[in-house]
């Protein structure tokens, strides 16, 4: 399954549709250029070779390059069983089913991340229109421990939710 580029178009009216186009700078390049003197380092550090070895190409494009999966392409988007959602990059327990938002638009939606598990970044690519003259920014969300990309915080209808790529998560259903 191909991924959507960060420069892709994401239409939220009537459903999360998408259109791929071009590729942008890598996530590491973006972070370095935006905060060249920031001493922050992620607790889990891996080389590109190590990331490549533990992830499929598709997973690498999502987690390490910030791409977006196609709607309804993961196994998790319509799986509402109770359980824990861990970061595929470092196994941190980042989301829980108790905060799941039942929005059937092809991604995994949550009202909240677990406390102190995610960080945000400024995504300068406007995924709503994809136009260069559209300067609205998106709130990108990633793992605070390994930096892997999860998705975005955005508005769906009247609600602010985390719109997360199922590819970025490992689901551990509760064994009741």
Residues that bind Zn ion (CB under 5 A): 87, 89-90, 92, 143, 145-146, 148
Q: What is the 3-state secondary structure (H, E, C) of 129-151?
A: CCCCCCCCCEEEEEECCCCCEEE
In the complex, what is the shortest distance from the CB of residue 14 to Zn ion, in angstroms, rounded to a whole number?
A: 33
Torsion angle defined by CA atoms of residues 7, 13, 17 and 23, in that order, rounded to the nearest 10 degrees? 0
Q: The tokens of 123 are what?
A: 């995504």
Residue placing its CB nearer to Zn ion in the complex, 18 or 146: 146
Which pair of structure tokens corresponds to residue 99?
A: 């905060």
CB of 69 to Zn ion, least distance (A): 17
30 vs 168 by CB, closer to Zn ion: 168
CB of 45 to Zn ion, least distance (A): 11
Which of 131, 16, 137, 31 is CA-nearest to residue 77? 16
d(CA 152, CA 76): 17
The Cα diameter of the chain in Å comes to 52
Structure tokens that stand for 68 in this block: 């977006």
> 148 or 165: whose CB is closer to Zn ion?
148
- For Zn ion, give the closer residue by CB, 21 or 43: 43
Please state the closest distance from residue 114 (CB atom) to Zn ion, in A: 12
Taking the least distance from each CB to Zn ion, the nearer of 23 and 91 is: 91
SS3 labels along 69-83: ECCCCCCCCCCCCCE
């Amino acid at each position: 399954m191909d991924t959507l580029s960060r420069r892709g178009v994401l239409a939220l009216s009537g459903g999360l549709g998408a259109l791929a186009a071009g590729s942008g700078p890598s996530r590491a390049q973006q972070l370095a250029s935006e905060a060249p003197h920031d001493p922050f380092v992620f607790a889990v550090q891996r080389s590109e070779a190590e990331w490549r070895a533990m992830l499929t190409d598709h997973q690498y494009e999502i987690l390490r390059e910030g791409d977006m999966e196609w709607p309804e392409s993961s196994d998790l988007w319509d799986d509402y069983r109770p359980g824990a959602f861990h970061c595929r990059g470092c196994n941190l327990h980042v989301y829980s089913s108790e905060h799941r938002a039942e929005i059937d638009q092809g991604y995994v939606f949550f009202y909240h991340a677990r406390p102190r598990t995610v960080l945000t970044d400024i995504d300068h690519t406007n995924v709503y229109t994809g136009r260069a003259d559209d300067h609205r920014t998106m709130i990108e969300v990633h793992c605070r421990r390994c930096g892997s990309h999860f998705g975005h915080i955005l508005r769906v209808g009247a609600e602010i939710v985390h719109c997360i790529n199922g590819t970025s998560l490992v689901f551990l259903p509760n064994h009741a």
